[in-house]
């Protein structure tokens, strides 16, 4: 098994106009297993497009994306959905929890789509909640939780499917400083345990907490020097 988890080779993504928008331009990026990576840029720099490409939610216009050595460009939508369900966990700024489902039920839901047996879904969800420090909140509704706790539930939901790559999009954007610190510390702990983590952010203070920082500007990447 290769140590390279993600490889983008000369990836570009454009959207028709007028005028035509070049969201990504000739991007090369390698992410190794166990990497801790932040992708930083202002609004309109191409961060969202990068997230969608990495998460198999969109396709490059040109170039190739290899995920665990598999070229994804030729995969049909069903195969891409399967790759996404088994290999990629997502964490978003807005949590996306179902308010009338318990914390435990929220965490089990993505596993309904990747073939995990029902009994195992609840077992994995409980384990993921314990991992993020919320085992005592399993039966709560999300409306009873703080913002930081809701984001931990979202992280547990991403972890429960046991992904190879955890992708987070502005995961501290809706949190105060204390809650944000707790979430970043959790990402650090998960990475220390061997999970590959890539966080997209506009906040350089958040970005500096990760081992690698990639800057994106006008659709082009450059690695920040430490």
Would you say residue 71 lies in a domain?
A: no
Structural domain count, the chain:
1
Would you say residue 5 lies in a domain?
A: no
Rounded to an integer, the average pLDDT of 136-151 is 96
The domain in which residue 181 lies consists of: 36-58+81-223
Could you give the percent of the chain with pLDDT greater than 70? Answer: 99
Would you say residue 99 lies in a domain?
A: yes
28-38 confidence digits (pLDDT tens): 999 999 999 99
CA–CA separation, 90 and 154 (whole Å)? 8
Rounded to an integer, the average pLDDT of 185-213 is 95
13-23 confidence digits (pLDDT tens): 999 988 999 99
Residue that the structure tokens 């198999």 belong to: 56
What CATH code is carried by the domain that includes residue 41?
A: 3.40.50.300
1, pLDDT greater than 60 = no
3-state secondary structure of 129: helix
Would you say residue 132 lies in a domain?
A: yes
Would you say residue 162 lies in a domain?
A: yes
Would you say residue 25 lies in a domain?
A: no
β-bridge mates for residue 22, sequence order:
14
For residue 132, give Cα distances in angstroms to 85, 102, 185, 190: 20, 16, 11, 9
Rounded to an integer, the average pLDDT of 169-192 is 94
The structure tokens listed for 209 are 């907490």
Would you say residue 3 lies in a domain?
A: no
pLDDT band at 226 (very low <50, low <70, confident <90, very high): low
Residue (of 34, 161, 7, 187) closest to 87 by Cα position: 161
The structure tokens listed for 135 are 């085992």
Would you say residue 92 lies in a domain?
A: yes
The structure tokens listed for 192 are 């220390």
| Contact status, residue 111 vs residue 124, Cβ threshold 8 Å | yes
CA–CA separation, 57 and 152 (whole Å)? 23
DSSP 131-185: HTT-GGGTTS-GGGS-HHHHHHHHHHHHHHT--SEEEEESTTTTS-HHHHHHHHH
Specify the pTM.
0.92
Residues 6+ apart with CB under 8 A from 96: 154
CA dihedral for 123, 171, 95, 50, sign (positive or negative):
negative
């Amino acid at each position: 098994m290769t140590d390279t988890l993600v490889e983008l080779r000369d990836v570009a993504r454009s959207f028709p106009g007028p005028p035509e928008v070049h969201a990504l331009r000739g991007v090369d990026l390698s992410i190794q297993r166990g990497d801790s990576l932040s992708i930083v840029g202002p609004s309109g720099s191409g961060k969202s497009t990068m997230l969608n490409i990495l998460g198999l939610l969109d396709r490059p216009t040109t170039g190739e994306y290899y995920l665990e050595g598999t070229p994804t460009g030729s995969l049909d939508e069903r195969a891409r959905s399967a790759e996404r369900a088994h290999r990629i966990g997502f964490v978003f700024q807005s949590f996306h929890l179902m308010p009338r489902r318990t914390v435990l039920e929220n965490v089990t839901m993505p596993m309904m789509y990747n073939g995990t047996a029902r009994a195992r879904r609840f077992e994995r969800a409980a384990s993921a909640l314990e991992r993020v420090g919320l085992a005592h909140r399993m039966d709560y509704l999300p409306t009873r939780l703080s913002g930081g706790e809701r984001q931990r539930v979202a992280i547990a939901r991403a972890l429960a499917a046991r992904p190879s790559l955890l992708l987070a999009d502005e995961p501290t954007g809706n949190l105060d400083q204390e809650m944000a610190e707790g979430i970043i510390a959790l990402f650090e702990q998960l990475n220390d345990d061997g999970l590959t983590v890539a966080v997209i952010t506009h906040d350089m203070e958040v970005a500096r907490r990760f081992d690698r920082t990639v800057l994106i500007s006008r659709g082009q990447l450059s690695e920040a020097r430490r």
